[in-house]
Chains A and B, each alone.
Chain A
């Protein structure tokens, strides 16, 4: 490998308001090489790839393709330079045929008319090269996800891309299709394509990568040949940060009494879920983006209910098929997407805090009376220390921390005794974070319980009394309070499934 790398990125910097997503990152990839990028959620992998694909412009740094400096202002320019990005979400047209999809935007024509013959033949040839015999005339919407991915890769091949970027290509694939895809990547490598492979599935990375780069918090930690990069070393590098100790103290007495449990829960995204929540504890749920941890939250609060399995609430069997039933049974939901699912941004703080009370109140209950009185909810908001000029102010004008507190107030007013938090402190400053952790702890100490789902591991470890880790829709293991991040990451990467038995028993 004496010649210049097919792709070289040097000193890439990209800042978004409030965060430096990439801080002087160097990266290169040679022709005929698979270079894997590993990192936690938010480490900067996707930003780096978006810069490479021309969707973002870097604030500083340069990109070189075969030693020629490049500047991309539009995805089209990146493609023209031979870079093809295969995104997690496929960009296919479900109603059109395979051939039409592959030739999207580059349709061959003869005398102004489409040359369908040529499209069909070249598509068949490309698909044959990928080892499939999908009919070029078949509608893409009728294909499996794995076949659709092959169509997406065929698009890249048609372009004769020199650099193919795959952003978590196996996220939606089963085991067999994953193996097939890995074989395909090997074939591409043989053909001299430079492949940037983003994944946090360690077995795949170890199976396919020639070199591994670890990103963390927007910085490159190291790049090593695969042979000298051990899984444990990669995981440590991905995690390596200090625990901050602004987390509240754990309860003095061991929680015993069961509040809520799921047995053998199952739906499209969840399999064999057994979950027990006890009074007085905060149960953390960890897992990767596609692990089903969000699906678990949606199942508990009845948004996307379980299809199979039984739920028990305070010893009584319950089925929760809608959010309304969940609220009626005293469950509150504090969503990750505060602005989308949590708040009515243009309405007042007070209205937002009263939302569930009003929702559950009888149709003709009088406003501003009894439980719905402004004075009552104002007291609640004050005791929660929601900082607003006036509780009549639109909640959208508040800071993230105060918005989150407003939602918590809503459930306190509702007298919920179980809360489901998803990403409780996303986009919230440090001081407000500590206040929210404090509130969470006070909430459970009063004989209630919380399930918290978070991709922020230090937070999850700091606040949870127990952590269950999910992997591919299943609970991969359970860890006690104070476990290391490495242990959580290992479980969430699907490693150490063997330890599972020990942990559960």
Chain B
């Protein structure tokens, strides 16, 4: 028997199973469509309505992509909300309405993100500080510096930059295109590069990974850099969307905890080593379609919050039960 033939032959006989992400995706779509039909707001199903739905996904989606990397590697990043605020404020401060400053502002913001990610990664990877504490600390520091330095509105972004958030390509908003491209890219990195494989290895069994010769600290650092960069892109998007950044934009959006929530809903386990981008994106879609549905139904804001919380717990519980069966 030739070796080449074997893998295919075996793969053929495997039962087809929907992935968890795909099921979550279907549920989200069903919720959205049903609510639209029931409430009679059928125009929500038009291209414009859908692009509105997807627009809601962008900021959380971007942060969630980054969070997926750090959670997969067995870490976590609580500083993303503060970093988003820093980037949004910095972008509008540097641009100050001038189109010429768009590129320098973006570069400066991403550099700040690299520094923040580097600090987080160093603390967690090399300093072996518990990631919850380390990133909570860096987040507090960033928020503190930001609040002291910019208690006023720091100006607004350039109009051309703002336009990016509102214009679209063949009816698909640019930010949505950006999210899709970055999500595909992130998924490719995780599933088909050595770096991605190492992220799974380090998250799954740090000691085993070290024994296999992986420099685990560097992998952790890399994951944190990626998470910060994604948070930065989300911050830039929010600055464009809101015309100017405020020092509380990240905190008010609860991007730190919600990004963790969507990642975990998507099936990435908090311990690391299992999960992926597809699940996170499905989690974000679930949040967005729930939000949109609650709006269509006119659910009270506080009740909305309660329902969201309940759904997070339910989703994770379903996953935990499914996983237990699988393991045992």
Q: Is A105 an interface residue (CB 8 A)?
A: yes
Chain A residues lying within 8 Å of B327, measured Cβ to Cβ, are 94, 141
Inter-chain contact A104/B201, CB cutoff 8 Å: yes
Q: What band does the interface of chain B fall in when counting residues whose beta carbon is under 8 Å from A?
A: 20 to 34
Inter-chain contact A105/B212, CB cutoff 8 Å: yes
Decide: A105 near B204, CB < 8 A? Known: A95-B273, A124-B6, A133-B6.
Answer: no
- Point out the residue from A100, A121, A133 that lies within 8 Å of B197, measured CB to CB: A100
Q: Is B210 an interface residue (CB 8 A)?
A: yes
- Point out the residue from A93, A107, A133, A155 that lies within 8 Å of B204, measured CB to CB: A93
- Point out the residue from A93, A106, A116 that lies within 8 Å of B200, measured CB to CB: A93
Q: Is A263 an interface residue (CB 8 A)?
A: no
Q: Is B198 an interface residue (CB 8 A)?
A: yes
- Point out the residue from B188, B204, B210 that lies within 8 Å of A75, measured CB to CB: B210
Q: Is A136 an interface residue (CB 8 A)?
A: yes
Inter-chain contact A120/B205, CB cutoff 8 Å: no
- Write the chain B residue with the least CB distance to A85: B211
Chain A residues lying within 8 Å of B196, measured Cβ to Cβ, are 114
Inter-chain contact A95/B211, CB cutoff 8 Å: no
Chain A residues lying within 8 Å of B6, measured Cβ to Cβ, are 124, 128, 133
Q: Is B147 an interface residue (CB 8 A)?
A: no
Within 8 A of A (CB), among B183-219: 188, 191-194, 196-198, 200-201, 204-205, 207-214
Q: Is A112 an interface residue (CB 8 A)?
A: yes
Interface string of B1-18 (1 = CB under 8 A from A): 001101100110000000
- Write the chain B residue with the least CB distance to A112: B193
Chain B residues lying within 8 Å of A100, measured Cβ to Cβ, are 197, 200
Inter-chain contact A113/B193, CB cutoff 8 Å: yes
Inter-chain contact A107/B213, CB cutoff 8 Å: no
Inter-chain contact B3/A128, CB cutoff 8 Å: yes
Inter-chain contact A114/B3, CB cutoff 8 Å: no
- Write the chain B residue with the least CB distance to A134: B10
CA distance A141 to B269 in the complex (A): 15
Q: Is A67 an interface residue (CB 8 A)?
A: no
Interface CB pairs A-B, < 8 A, 5: A79-B213, A100-B197, A104-B212, A105-B212, A124-B6
Most chain A CB neighbours (cut-off 10 Å) among B209, B213, B274: B213
Residues of B within 8 A of A (CB): 3-4, 6-7, 10-11, 188, 191-194, 196-198, 200-201, 204-205, 207-214, 273-274, 326-327
Inter-chain contact B10/A137, CB cutoff 8 Å: yes
| Closest CB in chain A relative to B311 CB, distance in Å | 25
Inter-chain contact A107/B10, CB cutoff 8 Å: no
- Write the chain A residue with the least CB distance to B6: A124
Chain B residues lying within 8 Å of A141, measured Cβ to Cβ, are 326-327
| Closest CB in chain A relative to B305 CB, distance in Å | 33
Most chain A CB neighbours (cut-off 10 Å) among B191, B207, B208: B208
Inter-chain contact A91/B212, CB cutoff 8 Å: yes
Q: Is A498 an interface residue (CB 8 A)?
A: no
Chain A residues lying within 8 Å of B208, measured Cβ to Cβ, are 91-93, 104
CA distance A96 to B208 in the complex (A): 13
Q: Is A229 an interface residue (CB 8 A)?
A: no
Chain A residues lying within 8 Å of B273, measured Cβ to Cβ, are 93, 95-96
Give the size of the chain A interface in residues (CB under 8 angstroms): 32
Q: Is A191 an interface residue (CB 8 A)?
A: no
| Closest CB in chain B relative to A157 CB, distance in Å | 14
| Closest CB in chain A relative to B274 CB, distance in Å | 4
The B contact surface, by secondary structure, is: helix
Interface string of A112-153 (1 = CB under 8 A from B): 111010001100110010000101110001000000000000
CA distance A124 to B11 in the complex (A): 13
Within 8 A of B (CB), among A246-299: none
- Write the chain B residue with the least CB distance to A135: B10
Decide: A104 near B209, CB < 8 A? Known: A120-B7, A121-B7, A137-B11.
Answer: yes
Q: Is A76 an interface residue (CB 8 A)?
A: yes
CA distance A103 to B194 in the complex (A): 10
Inter-chain contact B193/A105, CB cutoff 8 Å: no
Chain A residues lying within 8 Å of B188, measured Cβ to Cβ, are 113
Q: Is A109 an interface residue (CB 8 A)?
A: yes
- Point out the residue from A93, A109, A136 that lies within 8 Å of B194, measured CB to CB: A109
| Closest CB in chain B relative to A211 CB, distance in Å | 27
Inter-chain contact A107/B211, CB cutoff 8 Å: no
Inter-chain contact A135/B11, CB cutoff 8 Å: yes
Inter-chain contact A121/B209, CB cutoff 8 Å: no
- Point out the residue from A80, A91, A94, A109 that lies within 8 Å of B193, measured CB to CB: A109
Inter-chain contact A106/B212, CB cutoff 8 Å: yes
Return the 9 tightest CB-CB contacts between A and B, nearest first. A91-B208, A105-B212, A93-B204, A95-B274, A107-B194, A76-B213, A135-B10, A105-B214, A104-B212
CA distance A486 to B201 in the complex (A): 45
Query: Assuming A95-B200, A124-B7, A133-B6, what are 16 further A-B pairs, CB within 8 angstroms?
Result: A75-B213, A76-B213, A79-B213, A92-B205, A95-B273, A104-B209, A105-B198, A107-B194, A107-B198, A109-B193, A112-B193, A114-B193, A116-B192, A124-B6, A128-B3, A155-B212
CA distance A441 to B6 in the complex (A): 65
Decide: A93 near B7, CB < 8 A? Known: A104-B214, A114-B194, A116-B192.
Answer: no
- Write the chain B residue with the least CB distance to A123: B7
Chain B residues lying within 8 Å of A133, measured Cβ to Cβ, are 6, 10
CA distance A124 to B3 in the complex (A): 6
CA distance A106 to B3 in the complex (A): 21
Chain B residues lying within 8 Å of A91, measured Cβ to Cβ, are 205, 207-208, 211-212
CA distance A121 to B6 in the complex (A): 8
CA distance A94 to B6 in the complex (A): 23
Interface string of A24-43 (1 = CB under 8 A from B): 00000000000000000000
CA distance A125 to B1 in the complex (A): 11
Within 8 A of B (CB), among A84-98: 91-96
- Point out the residue from A94, A104, A112, A137 that lies within 8 Å of B7, measured CB to CB: A137
CA distance A76 to B204 in the complex (A): 19
Inter-chain contact A135/B7, CB cutoff 8 Å: yes
- Write the chain B residue with the least CB distance to A113: B192
Inter-chain contact B213/A106, CB cutoff 8 Å: yes
| Closest CB in chain B relative to A6 CB, distance in Å | 21
Chain B residues lying within 8 Å of A95, measured Cβ to Cβ, are 200, 204, 273-274
CA distance A133 to B13 in the complex (A): 14
Chain B residues lying within 8 Å of A76, measured Cβ to Cβ, are 211, 213
CA distance A233 to B7 in the complex (A): 49
Decide: A93 near B201, CB < 8 A? Known: A79-B213, A135-B7, A137-B7.
Answer: yes
